[in-house]
A and B are shown apart, each in its own frame.
Chain A
Amino acid sequence: MAEKKKRHINADILFKAAASFCAALIFIIMAGILIELFRGSHLAISKFGFSFLTSQQWNPVTQQFGALSSIYGTLVSTAIAMLIAVPLSLVIALFLVELAPPALSRPVGYAIELLAAIPSIIYGMWGLFVFAPFLSQYVQPLLKKYLGFTPFFQGPPMGIGMLTAGIILSLMILPFISAVMRDVFQMVPAVVKESAFGMGATTWEVTRKVTIRYGMQGLIGASFLGLGRAIGETMAVTFVIGNDHRISASLFAAGNSIASTLANEFAEASDKLYLNSLIELGLVLFLITLLIQIAAQLWLKRLQKTVGSQ
């Protein structure tokens, strides 16, 4: 009997050790990546220093490298994607949980999950061969006509560029965000909703004041999941963003993102400084993602406090 207990304890210790090792592995891998990125980019870091982040110059011939246009493109394309995808996902998820009859919500739910399983290169090719021509023929001329006085919708309507990249990205992250949001809404206890209905609230009031408020943390979490995917998305963006190392205010103009620059230029970068600069771009992307994660955590914490105090 005692021996059996001892064996139990041993197994427990073993299991705990294995589990904590696996958990630690994540940190080890993260640290490994970070160290490797620093090591791989030390030439560029020591040569360009801080100006790497502020210079627009990207010239493999003269060996002058600056990441500003790539950082700008990454942030702008992601921002466009989030602006479109988050409200749309919210509405889709609400519809599925609150409004749609089960006979409808189930197949639509499956369809959304299926959308998430499409490889990104398919989105890229669809974007280039189908969506971009459609944009350039029908949508961009209209935008130019009515909003052309703003600096954002100027230049020839080519169908490719920052705007297209942002829209394609939004389509790609939409299924992730809406699937998680749907789960969040489903977890709102029926009792809470029913009591609100019992007090005479309309569906809209219940949705706004109960469902959304209850699931706020989950909704923000879902949005950041989408953001994380959008910011590092590579192939689809590379196909449609136009790949140009210049910053322009117009969303019709071509641009680039960190991931697309890496995808394009890594294979043929044979010079040491060039390769170092590309790896430093990867480091920048890593740090941006980290910063966003930290900001998200802080935000959630503050939210927890305010919601808790209510």
Chain B
Amino acid sequence: MKITGKILFLVLGILFTTAFSGKINAESLTINGAGASFPYPLYSQWAYKYEQLTGLKLNYQSIGSGGGIAQIKARTVDFGASDAPLQKEELDQAGLIQFPLIMGGVVPVVNIKGVKDGQIKLSGPVLADIFLGKVKKWNDPAIANLNKGLKLPDLEISVVHRADGSGTTWIFTNYLSKVSQDWKGKVGNDKSVAWPAGVGGKGNEGVAAYVQQINGAIGYVEFAYALENKIPYVLLQNQAGKFVAPTIESFQAAANNADWEKAPGFYMVLTDQPGEKSWPITGASFILIYKDQKDSAKAKAMLKFFDWCYNNAGDMAKKLNYVPMPKKVFELVEKGWSKEILSGGKPVWP
């Protein structure tokens, strides 16, 4: 009897405290977001830092781009996040606007004995042929012609791709579709595709692990994974014909050279962009919010957070190997906010 009494007391106590703390939470502002997993480490750090600075609580759930789009359309979150932009028509239909918040790059990585970081050069069409399974050996003339002076082994190429649906694959296949008609016709551009060759790893870490283990492998991972795992990356030929290395500067160059003003609804894919320094497989991660905001104070707080990310938090991003948006782009984004985001018919920003 005594024990039951104690348990009852405990349960009541817990109930009281949760009810009470729930009340406190409801009073202070909480913003919920969900979506792409690629920017998750950064968004959660930003949210943590921002809460320390301002007290605004921001939750971000990494459930994948598809999930993020579904959640914002169901209005269960305040913002959604997606690695692949939505088309203007789809945005208008749902009453959403999108804007890029952060960038990253997709980097082809290889495991060939004796080949180090940035030693091997590839062009877009050759990369597509490798992933199509048409170029089968590392000493194939198509590769050797781009790499005069580099001794390439008579080794079978093992292609490694993502097995799970992912924004990274979307960006990568978008690039291959732009540079190879063959790829566009046979495979296409999506978050997961019917791969003509190779094996699939789960997640960036899965692809990185497979590439490191299979002699003669080539795969593609987010920039940060290539750096952290120290897997040799490939120099890629960009639209201007120059071979570039994946660096924060070359990703930003791609974003800077892209013609954002002419992209309706910020539908901009940063692959194969012009400019001598542009890395050809750059991608932005997008935020989706409703144009018509019910709670003006909440909307304003949310936009303030994004503004802080653009203006003050670039260094945090770089430390985690993400690429901040160039000023030119986010000024354009904020101009869009003041025009399009309304609450009760009145603009929310600035």
- Set of chain A residues within 8 Å of B66, measured between Cβ atoms: 267-270
Q: Taking the complex as formed, is B50 at the interface, i.e. its CB lies under 8 A from any CB of chain A?
A: no
B-chain residues with CB within 8 Å of residue A26 when the two chains form the complex = none
CB < 8 Å neighbour of B194 from A57, A136, A238, A268? A57
When C-beta atoms are compared, the residue in chain A nearest to B214 turns out to be A158
A128-B209, A267-B64, A268-B64 known; A244-B200 Cβ under 8 A: yes
Q: Is the CB of A268 within 8 A of B209?
A: no
On whether A267 and B63 interact (CB within 8 A), knowing A159-B213, A239-B206, the answer reads: yes
Contact A244 B190 (CB under 8 A): no
A40 CB to nearest chain B CB (Å): 15
**CA A192 – CA B264 in complex, angstroms?**
84
B214 to chain A, nearest CB (A): 5
Does the CB pair A243–B163 fall under 8 Å? yes
B334, CB-defined interface residue at 8 Å: no
State A132–B217 Cα separation when bound (angstroms).
15
Cβ < 8 Å to B, chain A residues 47-61:
57-61
* A253 CB, min distance to chain B CBs, angstroms: 9
Cβ of A139 to closest chain B Cβ, rounded Å: 14
With the chains together, A160 CA to B198 CA distance in Å? 12
Q: In the docked arrangement, what's the CA distance between A270 and B67, Å? A: 8
Q: Is B223 an interface residue (CB 8 A)?
A: no
* B202 close to A156 (CB less than 8 A): no
Contact B202 A59 (CB under 8 A): no
- Expressed in whole angstroms, the Cα–Cα distance for A158 and B209 within the complex equals 12
B interface residues with partner A (beta carbon < 8 Å): 63-67, 69-70, 156, 158, 163-166, 187-195, 198-202, 206, 209-210, 213-214, 216
Taking a contact as CB atoms under 8 Å apart, the answer to whether A244 and B199 are in contact is yes
Contacts of A265 in B (CB 8 A): 163-165, 192
> Does any Cβ of B come within 8 Å of A182's Cβ?
no
By a CB distance below 8 angstroms, the chain B residues around A215 are: none
- Contact for A244 among B63, B69, B156, B198, CB less than 8 A: B198
Residues on the B chain within 8 Å of A159, using CB: 213-214
Contacts of A244 in B (CB 8 A): 195, 198-200
Say yes or no: A238-B156 contact (C-beta < 8 A), given A58-B194, A268-B64: no
B158 touching A268 by the CB < 8 A rule? no
Interfacial chain B residues near A267, Cβ < 8 Å: 63-64, 66-67, 164-165
Do residues A62 and B188 form an inter-chain contact, with CB atoms below 8 A? yes
Bound form: Cα–Cα A128–B164 in Å: 17
A-B contact count (CB 8 A): 96
CB distance from B286 to the nearest CB of A (A): 15
Q: Is A129 an interface residue (CB 8 A)?
A: yes
| Chain B at the A interface: SS class | loop
Q: Kindly state whether residue A282 has any CB partner on chain B within 8 Å.
A: no
User: Please, which residues of chain B bring their CB within 8 A of the CB of A264?
Assistant: 163-165, 192, 200, 202
Cross-chain contact A61 with B166 (CB below 8 angstroms): no
Query: Judging by beta carbons under 8 Å apart, are A254 and B213 in contact?
Result: no
A269 near B213: Cβ-Cβ < 8 Å: no
Q: Which residues of B are found within 8 Å of A239, using beta-carbon distances?
A: 202, 206
Given A156-B158, A270-B69: A132 in contact with B213 (beta carbons within 8 A): yes
Most chain A beta-carbon neighbours within 10 Å: one of B64, B194, B216: B194
Distance in Å: Cβ of B38 to nearest Cβ of chain A: 12
CB distance from B18 to the nearest CB of A (A): 29
Residues on B with beta carbons closer than 8 Å to the beta carbon of A260: 163
Chain A residue nearest in CB terms to B36: A268
Task: Compute how far the CA of A217 lies from the CA of B209 in the bound complex, rounded to whole angstroms.
Answer: 43
Do B200 and A136 touch across chains, with their CB atoms under 8 A apart? no
A133 in the interface (beta carbon within 8 A): yes
Contact A242 B192 (CB under 8 A): no
Q: Which of A60, A159, A242, A264 has the most CB of B within 10 A?
A: A264
6 smallest CB-CB distances across A and B, nearest first, come from A268-B165, A243-B200, A243-B163, A270-B66, A59-B194, A61-B188
| Contact between B199 and A61, CB atoms less than 8 A apart | no
Q: Which of A36-84 contact B (CB under 8 A)?
A: 57-62
Bound form: Cα–Cα A235–B190 in Å = 24
- On whether the beta carbons of B189 and A61 are closer than 8 Å, the reply is yes
Write out the residue numbers on chain A whose beta carbons fall within 8 Å of the beta carbon of B193.
Answer: 59-61
A245 touches B166 (CB 8 A): no
Interface residues of A in 132-173 (CB under 8 A from B): 132-133, 136, 156, 158-161
A61-B193, A136-B213 known; A268 vs B70 contact (CB < 8 Å)? no
**What per-residue 1/0 map shows which CB atoms of A198-218 lie under 8 Å from chain B?**
000000000000000000000
- The CA of A158 and the CA of B65, in the complex, are separated in Å by 31
Chain B, Cβ-Cβ closest to A159: B213
Given contacts A62-B194, A260-B163, A263-B164, 7 further A-B contacts (CB under 8 A): A61-B187, A61-B193, A136-B214, A242-B199, A264-B192, A265-B164, A267-B63
Name B213's contact: one of A57, A58, A133, A270 (CB within 8 Å): A133
User: Contact between B209 and A129 (Cβ–Cβ < 8 Å)?
Assistant: yes
